[in-house]
Each structure stands twice: as C-alpha cells, then as structure tokens.
Structure 1
C-alpha cells in the first residue's frame, strides 16, 4: 500500500525557545495539541505535524545555495513569499531563491535545518 499522508516530521534542535520563536512567531505555525508524553513541542500545518525536540551538540550545516534543495528539508507552501522573505531577512535569516527559477526560496532555522518556502499555487 503506498504512503497516503505524512503524519509528522521530527526535528532536532539545540535550543527549544529559539525553535519555538522561529517556527511559531517567524513562520506563524500553530502549536498542535498532543496527548502523548513526549518532550518538545508540536506544530500543526494543514493536517501534518512537526515534532521539535532538543538534542545537544548539533553541528551547524554550511550554507551552500546549490545544495540546499538536495539536503533533507521541510517544504512549506506560502501565500505571500515576498512578505515572508522580507520578514526573515529583517530578523537576520539568510534567504536564497531557488536555482531552478521557480517561485521558492530556502532558509535555515537556528539549528541549520533547511526550510523550503514555495509560493502557493492558486
């Protein structure tokens, strides 16, 4: 049977408060209610969930634009990519446009997790 839907993605971060600021405040994700006794925080995105937990000693990844899309990453559809790009750069995050020319950009959270932000299709 083929996979029909993603249930959640787990990200390891070194500072949970910084991750909550990035995913909750900067990207605007809503926290998900979980009745499980797991550490960390969960976010809800269109029926999918992201579980963020602390892991000490994570190495930072190098920012190499040509490789961002090939690294493990989360991909989100966004309605106003230009406004979000401006908000990210205003808050000190590096953003790079997709090398393929499609309306998407890549950034990283504070732990080096690669985030793809693609313009939503109307």
Structure 2
C-alpha cells in the first residue's frame, strides 16, 4: 500500500516562460525557488510546503484554449482572506470568477494564467 503524505508539486505547461514568470512572480507574488539545471526551460515556486513547477512548452495539445471551466484540470490554493484575495486580483487587473457561496462548503475564486491554466483560490466563508 502507498502511504501518502502530501502533494509535492503541480506542473503546468506555459508557452512563454518570461511572460509566465512575470504573471506568477509580479502579479500574483509567488515565491520563486531554485530549480535544478535541467535541459528544459522552467521555473519553480514555493506554495507553503508544496511547489508549482512551470515548464515552457511553446506548442502542443497540452495547452487549453477555452475559458474557466471548474470541471477541467486545475490547481487550488487555500488563502486566508477572500476579500484580500479579490482586492489583490483587482489591483493586478486580473479577471476572476468569484463564487463566495459555493456549494463546495468554502468560498472559491477562479482565474486563468496567460496560458489559460486554471487557478482556484479557496477560503472559509466570510473570511
């Protein structure tokens, strides 16, 4: 039997690494961490004790074209404050889809990165 401890990282394909880094580092404020010197182009970020890995993949079928669909593949980050997260997204001019009274049992906010990867921010109702 496999004994699971936690998710270590999520990897996403991006078309332009420089643009993706500007979005994740500057607009969202993710903390970049050291990445081994792989032959591929990419960058890593710390999200608590987990990681997000961005891998440059300029063409291919792994990149989506449609808008937010919460039934599609995505990753979610638990945040402390719904209001502060909305304000930060608005300050950075990042469009979002808010679901403050989601049936999930917690508030949800969805955004798309520049390559239309879906990012979900979750938090307790009323936070």
Q: Does residue 43 of structure 2 align to residue 45 of structure 1?
A: no
Q: State the Cα distance separating 1:60 from its structure 2 match.
A: 4.4
Q: Match of 2:24? A: 23
Distance 1:39 1:120, change over 3 A: farther
Q: TM-score, normalised by structure 2?
A: 0.77
CA–CA distance in structure 2, aligned partners of residues 91 and 110 of structure 1: 13
Q: Assess if the C-alpha contact under 8 Å between 2:42 and 2:53 holds in 1.
A: yes
Q: Assess if the C-alpha contact under 8 Å between 2:17 and 2:41 holds in 1.
A: no
Q: Match of 2:65? A: 61
**Hey, which bits of structure 1, 4+ residues long, moved more than 4 A?**
none
Give per-residue Cα distances to partners, 1:61-102, cap 9 Å, x unaligned.
Answer: 3225xxx32111110111232232233234342211237253
Q: TM-score, normalised by structure 1?
A: 0.80
Q: Match of 1:76? A: 77
CA–CA distance in structure 1, aligned partners of residues 102 and 93 of structure 2: 24
Q: Does residue 15 of structure 2 align to residue 14 of structure 1?
A: yes
Q: How many residues align?
A: 119
Give per-residue Cα distances to partners, 1:4-56, cap 9 Å, x unaligned.
Answer: 21121111001112211221122211111233425310001111111111111
Segments of structure 1 that go 5 or more residues without pairing to the other structure are none
Shifted more, 37-46 versus 96-105: the winner is 96-105
Q: State the Cα distance separating 1:107 from its structure 2 match.
A: 0.7
Classify the secondary structure of the residue corresponding to 1:24. helix
